[in-house]
Structure 1
Amino acid sequence: MEVSIIYKALYEYESQARCSHNLLRLRPCSDARQQLIEFGLEIDPPSEVFTYSDYWGTSVEAFGVHQDHTRLSVVARATVRTDGQPAMVDSPPADALRDGRFREGHWEFLQPSPLVSWNDAIETLSQSVTESVDEDVIARVLALHRWVGRNLSFDETSTRVGTSVEEVLEQGKGVCQDFAHVLVALCRASGIPARYVSGYFLPANEHGESSEADFPLKTHAWVEAGIPRSGWWGLDPTHRMEVSARHVVIGRGRDYADVTPFRGSYSAGGRATQAIEVEMAAAASQQ
């Protein structure tokens, strides 16, 4: 599938901002499942952009605005060719999760991270969700994935960037970032490596055509679970589905803090308001 993406961000300040420094993680990656065809940035006020890859392998566009300004506009345009992920044909036993080499290779995705931690209650919840399923890794991951999709509801007004996994579970609602953080925490609490994925998602209606009736189009988040002998398996708890050709990856990390799409700071300027919008479309023959 060939997908076009337009990301638009507008920041407006109460008064003149003297300078701002910004990091963008908006460029889709190229990997075994997708290929970036083209990517471009439009920044106003015009700024020089420096591109590099971070620790996790995500492309970062860094720029500074050093002139006085009352608004900052960023438009990122991308075209990506995507495929669905391969089916999981091997279902290793749960004992495979305790293999020393496997754990060492996935160590960072088994530990608590800045925005994903868990307590005894969450560990108990994870155990209760998986105790009745077969003793294999795929069954356990699917049970946790389905539990999150059934027990959380989507609500844009209920959480903020720093809302903890415990808070999300207590109120039972959040946004895609929260769904992903909860699933990551439940997996790690069960000894299953899990990483947070930031990207874009092109929804579809019952006819397979583009639709945003259920969820507004913005950047999206989902999860990849580490499966012994098979690699990473992508699951989207917000949409209750496996990752498909409609999922476009920007980057992967331990949690949202590692792959924040737009992060910046500025001097003076007073309070700032922001507006984020994403437009996506598949080639007409592929909708």
Structure 2
Amino acid sequence: MIYEIRHLTRYSYGAIVELTTGVLRLAPRSGDGQEVQRFSIVTDPVSQPLTERLDPFGNRVTSLRIEKPHRQLSITASSRVRVNRTPPPTRSPAWETVGAEAIAMTSLDADCQAIALYPSRRVALFDGATAYAKQSFGPHRPIFDAASELARRIRSDFTYDPEATEVNTPAAEAFDRRRGVCQDFAHIMIAAVRGIALPALYVSGYIRTLPPPGKERLEGADATHAWVSVWCGAPLGWRDFDPTNATSIQNDHIVVARGRDYSDVSPIESMVLSSGRHRLEVEVDVIPV
């Protein structure tokens, strides 16, 4: 499957902004069945020349600086991505074997699983999540089967509610409420998996949404999304699970960035020299071509 992706972010400010600086994580990743064929960023007002680097997790990070005074700012990221992932595995090692392998790892590469074993800025370990994970990770159970069941249970036991949480809501609080959005469900699953000493990462990206039967697709109606990557041992590597939709990911998901939690992968982090309030609008189109 080949997708054309358009991600528009628009800020409207209550006062003149003299300076905007920031970092963007909007470029999809290549690898693991995904190939980026084209990527570009356009800003209005025009930024100083954009610079790009790889962060410690292998994500493409773009830096911008806008020195022209402005009351509005738009950032449009356009991508063309081919996705052709392998089918889910039919066999996987026992989760205890994978945990022992992860603890023994000595690599410091960007893809090293050791960094995904421990609490992070937005994902603290807590007893409720650990106990919740243990219901799926029984003795000697294959890790892929157990992680798949955990994702399905989160989808079944938790209610998707955009009003229930905010971007800074701790995973333990969302867990107690049994409500939240994809970010919360990803953080909860990560806390659960790390609580039984298995590596798990946060993944940001896009998911293609299908209109209801008989309805036309609405422009800008697709969404940014978040899910979880679990280390399933050396033969399988990282495998991704979507607890919001109770599935392992296939060709409807497009990966943008990976990190320990949302703090490592937020699409836009910026600083503005101004005063007053601002309004944020986001539109996403994921179009199969």
Fold shared, TM-score > 0.5 on shorter chain: yes
> Please, which runs of 5 or more residues in structure 1 have no aligned partner?
none
Q: What is the alpha-carbon distance in structure 2 between the residues aligned to residue 253 and residue 72 of structure 1? A: 27
Q: What is the alpha-carbon distance in structure 2 between the residues aligned to residue 53 and residue 99 of structure 1? A: 30
Identity %: 28
- Residues 165-244 of structure 1 mapped to structure 2, 5 A cutoff: 165-204=171-210, 217-228=222-233, 229-244=235-250
Equivalent residue number for residue 31 of structure 2: 31
Equivalent residue number for residue 15 of structure 2: 15
Q: What is the alpha-carbon distance in structure 2 between the residues aligned to residue 243 and residue 221 of structure 1? A: 11
Q: Does 1:246 align with 2:247?
A: no
Instruction: Supply the AA of the counterpart residue of 1:251.
Output: A
| CA apart distance, 1:101 | 5.5
Deviates more, 1:185-194 or 1:101-110: 101-110
Kept in 2, the 8 Å contact 1:200–1:250? The answer is yes
- Give the alignment partner of residue 258 of structure 1, picking from 248, 258, 264: 264
Q: What is the alpha-carbon distance in structure 2 between the residues aligned to residue 251 and residue 33 of structure 1? A: 15
Q: TM-score, normalised by structure 1?
A: 0.90
Deviates more, 1:198-207 or 1:19-28: 198-207
Kept in 2, the 8 Å contact 1:13–1:270? The answer is yes
Q: What is the alpha-carbon distance in structure 2 between the residues aligned to residue 278 and residue 269 of structure 1? A: 28
Kept in 1, the 8 Å contact 2:148–2:247? The answer is no
Q: What is the alpha-carbon distance in structure 2 between the residues aligned to residue 45 and residue 206 of structure 1? A: 37
Equivalent residue number for residue 121 of structure 1: 128
- Residues 1-80 of structure 1 mapped to structure 2, 5 A cutoff: 1-48=1-48, 49-80=50-81
Instruction: Supply the AA of the counterpart residue of 2:130.
Output: E
Q: Deviations over 1:242-261 (max 9, x none)?
A: 10111111111111110110
Q: What is the alpha-carbon distance in structure 1 between the residues aligned to residue 75 and residue 211 of structure 2? A: 29
| CA apart distance, 1:211 | 6.0
Q: What is the alpha-carbon distance in structure 2 between the residues aligned to residue 146 and residue 244 of structure 1? A: 16
Kept in 2, the 8 Å contact 1:85–1:243? The answer is no
Secondary structure at the aligned position of 1:39 is classed as: strand
Q: TM-score, normalised by structure 2?
A: 0.89
Q: Deviations over 1:243-282 (max 9, x none)?
A: 0111111111111110110111111231111001101110
Q: CA distance change for structure 1 residues 54 and 163 in 2, over 3 Å: closer, same or farther?
A: same
Equivalent residue number for residue 137 of structure 2: 130
Q: Deviations over 1:1-47 (max 9, x none)?
A: 01011101111111111111111111111113111111111101101
Kept in 2, the 8 Å contact 1:97–1:103? The answer is no
